[in-house]
């Protein structure tokens, strides 16, 4: 059995135990998937508080669905399907709500977390922060579904088939989403060294 | 000997090659063929270089530390959700009406009502009876939870069997 297949079975097995009322297995699933899920959501919504709130909603839904759970699909695909669904809806709702708000770091609701690099001089740090802001703006220009595809492809290292299942579309649609998204990112970010 | 490839920069399907190249996912022969093509193709060289830069720029994007009380908040939320009566879920601001789920349920209810009406021969006066035992069960049902579970399980059902995914070699 390959490591990937063993991992799939392990998650499904844990979820089946959660179905039987074993809360320790839920804690193990939470421990395993918490970080990648929150990071995915953070990269999607660019807001720490919202990413954690959405991650809580994902785990809550998984827990609530435990009694009817059947291991018909890979657990992580299901998890990221719920997560991308929630994040895309949040982005669409927010876009409708605040068309005039600034997308930069001065956003009043503490959008981005500024992680200072202490090894840099003040000037270098300012340049670094400006570059990060530019990258974030480039990501924010991507439509929600393209953004989700890039985040799953780049950071979760998912294949086209798995992204397609998570986004409920065909593999060719995923390739098209990624092609357009990376084209946009290349146009906006390729000048950065 | 390397097999020449058609120019990926001129073919939309070729974008996969640039992504694989930037991500370092190409096999050694694929990489050799692609790099051999790029020696003479300035357009492919340019796109590949740009894609690599985008890749490294995205790598540098930081993510914040996760709140230390994340699990605590989640378990409190789960506990609160389990205690909440169904009518509070319906009145909760987060409750959302989903037509995709509600429409079939409404249709099923309507069909059931029609069947009941058609199968009742006479409107005979029924004696007044105490409330049936099912009333207690009905009170315990949470329509919002059922609806949300159905929605989440819909997502699960639409996915194919895990075996096919295992063959993809993704973890």
Query: How near does any CA of chain A get to the CA of B138, in Å?
Result: 18
Q: What is the mean pLDDT of chain B?
A: 75
- What one-character DSSP code corresponds to residue B2? P
A16/B contact by beta carbon, under 8 A: no
Q: Which of A67, A100, A133 is the last residue of a domain?
A: A100
- Three-state secondary-structure class, residue B27: coil
Cβ separation B162–A73 shorter than 8 A: yes
Residue A138 maps to a domain: yes
3-state secondary structure of B131: coil
Same domain, A11 and A58: yes
* 3 state DSSP class of A22: coil
Burial tier of A147 (Cβ tally within 10 Å: 0-12, 13-18, 19+): buried
Closest alpha carbon within chain A to B74: A56
Domain annotation covers residue A107: no
Q: pLDDT value at position A9?
A: 74
Q: Give the closest of B71, B148, B153 to A30, CB-based.
A: B71
CB contact A186 to B (< 8 Å): yes
Q: For chain B, positions 19-48, list CB contacts with chain A under 8 A.
A: 19, 47
Structural domain of A135: 114-193
Tell me whether B54 touches chain A (CB under 8 Å).
yes
Calpha distance B163→A34 (Å, rounded): 24
Domain of residue B23, residue span: 8-59
Cα first-last separation, chain B: 34
Tell me the ipTM for this assembly.
Answer: 0.81
Share of chain A above pLDDT 90, in %: 67
Which of A100, A129, A154 is where one domain is finished? A100
Whether A121 and A184 share a structural domain? yes
Burial class (CB in 10 A: 0-12, 13-18, 19+), B93: exposed
Task: Say whether both A6 and A81 belong to one domain.
Answer: yes
Q: Could you tell me how many residues make up chain B?
A: 171
In a domain? residue B100: no
Residue B12 within a domain: yes
Residue B34 in domain: yes
3 state DSSP class of B31:
helix
Do residue A66 and residue A159 come from a single domain? no
Structure tokens at B119: 């199968």
Model confidence pLDDT, tens digit, residues B95-146: 444 555 566 777 887 888 888 878 776 666 666 666 555 545 455 566 677 7
3-state secondary structure of A113: coil
CA distance B24 to A154: 12
Residues A90 and A120 in one domain: no
Q: Which residue has the tokens 């954690």?
A: A52
The answer as to whether A11 is a domain residue is yes
pLDDT at B170: 42
Residues A146-158 have pLDDT tens digits of 999 999 999 998 9
Q: Are A116 and B65 in contact (CB under 8 A)?
A: no
Angle, alpha carbons B32-B33-B36 (nearest 5°)? 85
CA dihedral A180, A182, A186, A192 (to 10 degrees): 150
Total structural domains within chain B: 1
pLDDT in tens, B2-26: 555 678 877 766 778 888 888 888 8
Q: In angstroms, what CA-CA distances link A178 with A11, A58, A84, B17?
A: 28, 25, 15, 12
How many residue pairs bridge chain A and chain B with CB atoms within 8 Å of each other? 155
Q: How far apart are the first and last CA of chain A?
A: 42
| pLDDT value of residue B104 | 72
At B18 the three-state DSSP class reads: helix
Task: Give just the sign of the alpha carbon dihedral B50, B51, B54, B55.
Answer: negative
Angle at A47 between CA A43 and CA A50, to 5 degrees: 105
Query: Can you tell me the distance from the alpha carbon of B122 to that of B126, in angstroms, rounded to the nearest whole number?
Result: 11
- What CATH number should be reported for the domain holding residue A126? 1.10.10.10
| Counted domains in chain A | 2
Q: Is B68 at the interface with chain A, CB within 8 A?
A: no
Which chain B residue shows the shortest CA-CA distance from A39? B63
Residue that finishes a domain, picked among A100, A135, A152? A100
Model confidence pLDDT, tens digit, residues A95-120: 777 654 544 444 444 455 556 666 77
The whole-angstrom separation of Cα B163 and Cα A5 is 8
Spatial contact of A150 and A96, defined as CB atoms under 8 Å apart: no
Residue B25 lies in a domain: yes
CA distance B8 to chain A (A): 12
Cβ contact, residue pair B155, A186, below 8 Å: no
Residues ≥6 apart with Cβ < 8 Å to B73: A56, B67
Q: What residues of chain A lie within 8 A of the CB of B15, using their CB?
A: 175, 178-179, 182-183
Across the interface, do B165 and A35 touch by the CB < 8 Å criterion? no
* CATH assignment of the domain containing A8: 1.10.1740.10
Report the chain A residue with the minimal C-alpha distance to residue B167. A5
Q: What is the pLDDT of residue B4?
A: 55
């Amino acid at each position: 059995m390959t490591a990937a297949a063993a991992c799939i079975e392990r998650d499904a097995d844990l979820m089946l135990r959660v179905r039987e009322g074993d809360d320790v297995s839920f804690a193990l699933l939470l421990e395993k998937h918490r970080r990648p899920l929150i990071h995915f959501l953070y990269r999607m919504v660019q807001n720490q508080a919202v990413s954690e709130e959405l991650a809580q909603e994902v785990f809550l839904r998984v827990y609530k669905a435990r009694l009817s759970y059947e291991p018909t699909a890979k657990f992580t695909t299901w998890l990221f399907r719920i997560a991308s669904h929630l994040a895309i809806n949040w982005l669409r709702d927010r876009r409708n709500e605040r068309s005039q708000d600034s997308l930069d770091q001065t956003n009043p609701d503490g959008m981005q977390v500024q992680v200072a690099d202490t090894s840099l001089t003040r000037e270098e740090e300012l340049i670094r922060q400006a570059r990060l802001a530019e990258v974030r703006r480039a990501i924010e220009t991507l439509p929600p579904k393209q953004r989700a595809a890039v985040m799953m492809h780049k950071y979760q290292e998912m294949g086209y088939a798995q992204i397609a299942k998570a986004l409920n579309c065909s593999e060719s649609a995923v390739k098209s989403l990624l092609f357009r998204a990376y084209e946009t990112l290349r146009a906006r970010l390729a000048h950065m060294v | 000997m390397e097999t020449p490839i058609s120019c990926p920069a001129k073919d939309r399907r070729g974008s996969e090659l640039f992504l694989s190249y930037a991500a370092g996912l190409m096999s050694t022969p694929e990489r050799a063929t692609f790099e051999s093509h790029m020696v003479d193709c300035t357009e492919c060289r340019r796109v590949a270089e740009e894609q690599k830069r985008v890749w490294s720029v995205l790598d540098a994007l930081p993510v914040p530390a996760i709140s230390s009380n994340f699990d605590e908040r989640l378990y409190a939320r789960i506990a609160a959700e389990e205690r909440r009566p169904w009518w509070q879920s319906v009145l909760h601001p987060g409750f959302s009406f989903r037509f995709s789920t509600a429409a079939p349920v409404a249709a099923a209810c309507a069909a059931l009502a029609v069947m009941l009406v058609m199968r009742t021969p006479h409107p005979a006066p029924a004696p007044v009876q105490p409330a049936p035992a099912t009333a207690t069960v009905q009170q315990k049902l949470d329509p919002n939870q059922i609806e949300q579970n159905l929605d989440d399980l819909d997502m699960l059902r639409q996915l194919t069997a895990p075996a096919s995914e295992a063959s993809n070699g993704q973890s």
